[in-house]
Chains A and B, each alone.
Chain A
């Protein structure tokens, strides 16, 4: 495959992420309402984009040559990444609730959410990271060298996926069940700060 074909694939992949995000949001808005949809999507996006910014800032990986980054400066993390992450969250939650039942213990639902999400990442990450697609890079100049790898992807990434998605979905369910109105947003803000601190601690481990 030549450079032009690879560039097309990369562009289509990025545009596809935006389309998928819009479809997920529209459907959730219609089926479940604006309130819960906005909480799930906004929290998922803010959490993922913030963690990604931290990780890229600390040289854990990088995203070369995307169309749109958010924030635009520094151009570290593509907007599509945070949106895709935000779209995955409600989908794994609904699937887990169908499999285990909505009244299953929250920790079990969160664990299944995390495992389902990392199952998807195990399919996508090895295929699109590194050569030839280079959607994101785990190795390179100025980047932290990893010791533990699986399918050419650092194990740190997969552990992070399970932990972060599980924490995110547990927190969203707890907020929906325990709190009402503006209190929900306040608690999501608290959880966001806690998650970022935990993500930073995980990143600092000797992976």
Chain B
């Protein structure tokens, strides 16, 4: 749990965007429009993936 929270803190802004997406999914379901949740897979998920790839690249570049 500590490690998970530390990772969230390290990548807080990305976690914030992911939270916005997931909140939207939940609200879409509550609004009776679950199909709307798929929009995040097109509009937000690519940004999160690009972020993860960039972080990975940065970590690799720092390795000896």
Contacts and interface: CB of A to CB of B under 8 A. Distances in A.
Interface string B15-31: 01101110111011011
A127 B17 contact: no
B27 A127 contact: yes
Interface in A51-102: 87-88, 90-92, 94-95, 98-99
A99 B39 contact: no
Nearest to A16: B23
Contacts of A92: 13, 17
Given A95-B13, A98-B54, A151-B39, A124 B31 contact: no
A122 B16 contact: no
Contacts, number: 88
Interface residues of B, number: 30
Interface in A100-154: 116, 118-120, 122-124, 126-128, 131-133, 151
A205 interface: no
Contacts of A20: 16, 19
B5 to A, nearest CB: 13
Instruction: Report whether over half of chain A's contact residues are helix, strand or loop; otherwise say mixed.
Output: helix
A11 to B, nearest CB: 13
A61 B30 CA distance: 22
B7 interface: no
A20 B23 CA distance: 12
A98 B52 CA distance: 9
Contact of B25 (A9, A27, A119, A123): A123
A99 B46 CA distance: 11
Interface residues of A, number: 30
B31 A119 contact: no
A124 B20 contact: yes
A13 B19 CA distance: 13
Interface string B33-54: 1001101100110010011001
Interface of A: 1, 9, 13, 16, 20, 24, 27, 87-88, 90-92, 94-95, 98-99, 116, 118-120, 122-124, 126-128, 131-133, 151
Interface of B: 9, 12-14, 16-17, 19-21, 23-25, 27-28, 30-33, 36-37, 39-40, 43-44, 47, 50-51, 54-55, 58
14 contacts: A1-B30, A9-B27, A9-B30, A13-B27, A16-B23, A92-B17, A94-B13, A98-B54, A119-B47, A124-B20, A128-B27, A128-B31, A133-B31, A151-B36
